A and B are shown apart, each in its own frame.
Chain A
């Protein structure tokens, strides 16, 4: 029944060591989002894909990249994680951004720890 799946749920990496977080969806939604959520803060949108079109938020650091090889999968790559990148990373999907009332469905998140 899982609709938005994130792996792993917990990820530990070393300072400066590249890390990839993955997200998959069984909803066949057009749009996939990546959010960063730090402790006791609101989720902050990093970027999103509408199909294959990539949309980067203006304040997302270059250190964060994303790939979407197909409809079902989306990856978040952190090229050189810093201590400040430790956070929960949430993946979400929605069917069509043109339908602005469309609900976003969130995955359970991946908690990233940087040592």
Chain B
């Protein structure tokens, strides 16, 4: 059974602070995605990383895929209240189509 462990589960910070969310597994993934979900809505894909060591940036968000493709991190610089939401990582196993999710990190950014 593949498991994706996300940490921290909850994070409450002030506007302007930096933060990092981690996604770890003992399994190797062919690709890993990060999503953001608002209450009452479905998750929205932020980024997909596929190469070990890959780093992608999306404005103030930086995503990194571990060299062994077992872990990933999401770093937010100068967080804003609009970043508040549930952040989810999801890993794809080979080409089987199996896409599993971590439990999520609930982020609250206070003005």
Please determine whether chains A and B interact with each other in the same assembly: no
